């Protein structure tokens, strides 16, 4: 099985639910807190390249709603990467990385399929 890494916020209910699911199903993983551990440009660019910035940038988040309109205007890939690096809480959480294969968000049925 490829190495499993989960990136999110320790305080995020969805991230905690995903970690709890992995623990309950005996999946060994490493955890990366996007706020405490930070994000690097190569990491964010890799996510955006594999999943698309539209999926990685969480426009439903409180962080997005609190951004000034001028920061939210005209978002494209380079601007999305810059926003994600400046505001790690904009990342759609959690990001599950299974050896380079990304899954964004958490749904128990999807995890069950991934780890069947």
Q: pTM of the full predicted structure?
A: 0.91
Burial letters 62-100, b for 16+ CB under 10 A, else e: eebeebeeeeeeebeeeebbebbbebbbbbbbbbbbbee
pLDDT one-digit tens code per residue, 81-102: 999 999 999 999 999 999 989 9
Active-site annotation holder among 7, 9, 12, 81: 12
Angle ∠(72,5,28) on CA atoms, nearest 5: 150
Q: pLDDT class for 1, splitting at 50, 70, 90?
A: low
The domains of the chain, with CATH numbers, are: 4-114 (3.40.30.10)
Per the annotation, the verdict on 12 as an active-site residue is: yes
pLDDT one-digit tens code per residue, 49-66: 999 999 999 999 999 999
Mean pLDDT on 23-36: 96
Residue 2 pLDDT greater than 80, yes or no: no
């Amino acid at each position: 099985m490829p190495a499993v890494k989960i990136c999110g916020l320790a305080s995020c209910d969805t991230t905690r639910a995903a970690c709890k699911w992995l623990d309950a199903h005996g999946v060994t993983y490493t955890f990366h807190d996007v706020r405490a551990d930070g994000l690097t440009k190569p990491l964010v660019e890799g996510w955006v390249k594999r999943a698309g910035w539209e999926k990685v940038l969480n426009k439903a988040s409180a962080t997005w709603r609190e951004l000034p309109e001028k920061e939210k205007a005209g978002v494209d890939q380079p601007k999305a990467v810059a926003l994600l690096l400046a505001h790690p809480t904009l990342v759609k959480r959690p990001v599950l990385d299974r050896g380079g294969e990304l899954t964004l968000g958490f749904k128990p049925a999807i995890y069950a399929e991934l780890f069947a």
